[in-house]
Structure 1
Amino acid sequence: MTRSFCLMCCLVVALFLAGCSGSSDSDGNVYTVKRGDTLSRISRLTGTSVQELARLNNISPPYTIEVGQRLKTGSKTTAGKKSSKSTKTASRPSLPPVSWPPVGDRCWRWPTSGKVILPYSSADGGNKGIDITARRGQPIYAAGSGKVVYVGNQLRGYGNLIMIKHGENYITAYAHNDTLMVNNGQNVKIGQQIATMGSTDTDSVRLHFQIRYKATAIDPLRYLPPQGSKPKC
């Protein structure tokens, strides 16, 4: 792998992390559960693993939580640093929906089939993609042609993660995979299998899927064709 490509990978991951940060509505080392939250989403916001959240709060599978419930998220020092960093990042400007690219600007296909259990949210700390549930081991496909710029599990809260760069402006991300079937620097075609569905670093089998335009997460459902149909491009 060339030095220039490694630098590009680091930049892409940094932009991804910046866009994922948001206000976690936490107080010290405590997080208050909001509507639509899951342990995996709270894990991404607080930087505490799903397993640690479950242990700290005596939560057993299937990890049911309730709106208004207050969860311990780790040490006060760690949580305080995470909260400070998140607040700083959240103040960065992002593209409002009116500035998003027009539908049809690029050809996309569904990365897998299944039920969307958590939609996109533009709110601070909201879900910056969609979560799709299906059976373990189900194929995950590249939503568009491009180059793989990240394969690994170093980003806490995302499990086995793949990121693909599409031209200059777009990045797609595929989180919580089981088996990873591509490598860094590999060119992939739209519809090519890149992974299998799993539950790494989350509380149930799912795919967390994002489309990012100029580092800003945009609503995938706005750009994907009707589920079960092929893209018209």
Structure 2
Amino acid sequence: AKYLFIAAQAADTPSTHETRLFFKYILERIDFERDMHFQTCTTIDTLDYSGYALNEGSKVIIAAAGDKKRTLCKNVNPNLKQNINSVTWVSDGILAIEMEDFISYENASSEIEKLVLNLEPIDTSDIGIIVICNDSEFLAKDWNNFLWATFTRSDPSKDIYGIGSQYINKHWGCKGPIIIDARTKPHHAPILQENEKALEAIEHFFQKGQPLEGF
């Protein structure tokens, strides 16, 4: 797994199959300075195209346990809207910010450094994840859109940033929240889109009396 989220097995821990509740549980408890563990320059799945070369990239383990540390936001802080354009609430403690297309990692680092400077004066203690994306409305429209776009379009060691980030004894952490740059990158495969002509050509196979009826 490129992103592995681990929680203690407690009486109130949601099932991992309830992904939205599980994320909420993790984000309420994570210590951003302690609980993120990166594996860099390692092997990744061939089908994952977010790394810098075939079968090469990074992974992160996010482990959370213990008492609830924060109450997550259920909307966008008005102060945040004054400082940041195109910010959208996705789910409890998760926001999406739409930015210009990704050009390079050097440029992205500069862009996100400016974003962090804008965020620092604002109380972000109720936010767990900020996702930088190409289309914030798409990300927020459906939970599966968030999961797909955020975690397939990012390489943990290159695309995770954070407010108040620092290294201590080779361990990366931040004050929080974390920022994930999930914009499409030049080395990503093209976006898979439905072909309307192809759909029209096969549609009759699914009609009553045809071989694929009921599918």
What range is the shorter-chain TM-score in?
Answer: under 0.3
* Normalised TM-score (structure 2): 0.27
* Normalised TM-score (structure 1): 0.26
Larger-Rg structure: 2
Structure holding more helix per residue: 2
